[in-house]
Structure 1
């Protein structure tokens, strides 16, 4: 991962932007994220005309199959990348956990913004916690990572797939199709739905996915000026943390087909990171953690690499559907 700009100021930029177009999915949460980026850009560049190009992606259209069966999280970003390539947009805003661990040639992850709560949230209309759910209760989740932990912790529950944007998932819960659902807390909080959270799940054992709760901004490599303009929006603690997390996931071929978690926290030059790889049924798990001094992106990657190597030594490759990436 190349060095990202950490801080900048308008005075250091010779020519502030006059117009920027943000490509975004059209779901309510994605539009909130794009509007948040727009407002941040307007704060730093008040004269800039910032517009949002709403788009529907393949990931939004295919709702009857699990992501692991239809191409993974990259389905949420391809159309946005096409808009960058053909000049309809200058930058694309993503939930960072949806961004592939290896960026396509010609594209950069140019900015990582401050992270919202990275934890998973338990949402139910009738029960206060996972522990309160009765035998055979149906719990919905879109994540193999969550499914593996739930099956290990609560083998008496029925874990069913749950696709769609946040409002669609909440609607399925409210119609009684599920007794509970597990969602990322960040999306609920960003949309003002924090009151729907009955419980926030602890990092141990419900370790988040790499990048969960963080926003990433993608640009074309051939437009370094746009990356420079985005520099004031970058958040150093989040950047270091997700750099380590994404290194773990990259080494283990992280995708929707792999029950893989990676979560790091960086503060005052110290980083702590926890990760696991599991079987979908929750019966096998490799768990690793590490802490150390991190003062650069290279050191963040090194700590993530050490955790990945620990998992591999424990036999994580046997839990990956396609083995270790080449």
Structure 2
């Protein structure tokens, strides 16, 4: 951050990414109206590859790589990310300065004929490139056919409308942020379709040495969300997985703020077998147990994978 109080915010150029960048910009300006935030749109490798699954090219890290390179080159001061796209550990010299309050983490079902998941016709084509979503869908409806569907929210919805598939799944948080929830056929119960680790969470990445900017961003940090992402990330780290494996984890705090719950699942890509478990306890206990659960999921997956 420079002395003129100009913050250069790096973001992808999708509708959702720009909406999330705007949320961050507004919150920063609330902390100090004298700050000017300049948006810098950066096209990532993930944006350029639209016809094949990202797993073939390095996974969701492709949505992050160019933003982190821009941080290192000092072309931007901060990068706004969907935290479910982040892979740990971060590159040397970069840190997550804060996470904003989590939006609704659930997945939604969108079908062309407005039929819900359990109502849609046999052998309906479900468009997704997410192993997590595909495995859980096939576990519920093994008669359905999974077909690849990639792109930003608007691209996927356009492909759905044009008949590339009969239904698809998206993150509820994204549709809420772009004010486009009218397309939703059904909001899926997170006990049935467990969300991706960190789904619905916006994170802000900065250079570790930029302590002045970190002080500003720390005021935006949402502590409960920070605990959720820590616990869910422990599950994923214990598993040793990324977006190429059908593992999911979702945590939340009870009304007292003292007890956290974690729901996790790992499944075979075919959905024929899965292991689903839940844990409950205080934050410190759950953090260590989440990692152990991830290891248990990994052992199960290695034993049962086809």
- Tell whether the structures are fold-level matches, with TM greater than 0.5: yes
Unaligned runs of 5+ residues in structure 1 are: 1-14, 322-326
Structure 1 residue 269 corresponds to structure 2 residue 258: yes
Distance (whole Å) between structure 2 residues aligned to residue 299 and residue 113 of structure 1: 24
User: Measured at CA, do residues 233 and 303 of structure 1 come closer, stay the same or move farther in structure 2, by a change above 3 Å?
Assistant: farther
Q: Displacement, 1:221?
A: 1.3
Q: 2:192 aligns with which of 188, 205, 210?
A: 205
The answer as to whether partners of 2:238 and 2:293 remain within 8 angstroms in 1 is: no
Q: 2:11 aligns with which of 5, 24, 27?
A: 24
Q: Displacement, 1:155?
A: 1.4
Q: 1:178 aligns with which of 159, 165, 169?
A: 165
| 1:83-120 CA-partner distances (Å, limit 9, x unpaired) | 10111111100111001132222211111111111000
Distance (whole Å) between structure 1 residues aligned to residue 185 and residue 298 of structure 2: 36
The answer as to whether partners of 2:107 and 2:195 remain within 8 angstroms in 1 is: yes
Q: Displacement, 1:234?
A: 0.9
The aligned counterpart of 1:10 is: none
The aligned counterpart of 1:139 is: 126
User: Measured at CA, do residues 44 and 207 of structure 1 come closer, stay the same or move farther in structure 2, by a change above 3 Å?
Assistant: same
Aligned-CA RMSD value: 1.8
The aligned counterpart of 1:292 is: 281
Give TM-score, length-normalised by structure 1: 0.88
The aligned counterpart of 2:60 is: 73
Q: 1:316 aligns with which of 293, 297, 301?
A: 301
Q: Displacement, 1:16?
A: 9.1
Unaligned runs of 5+ residues in structure 2 are: none
User: Measured at CA, do residues 139 and 260 of structure 1 come closer, stay the same or move farther in structure 2, by a change above 3 Å?
Assistant: same
- Aligned residue pair count: 303
Distance (whole Å) between structure 2 residues aligned to residue 307 and residue 80 of structure 1: 32
Q: 1:245 aligns with which of 232, 243, 247?
A: 232
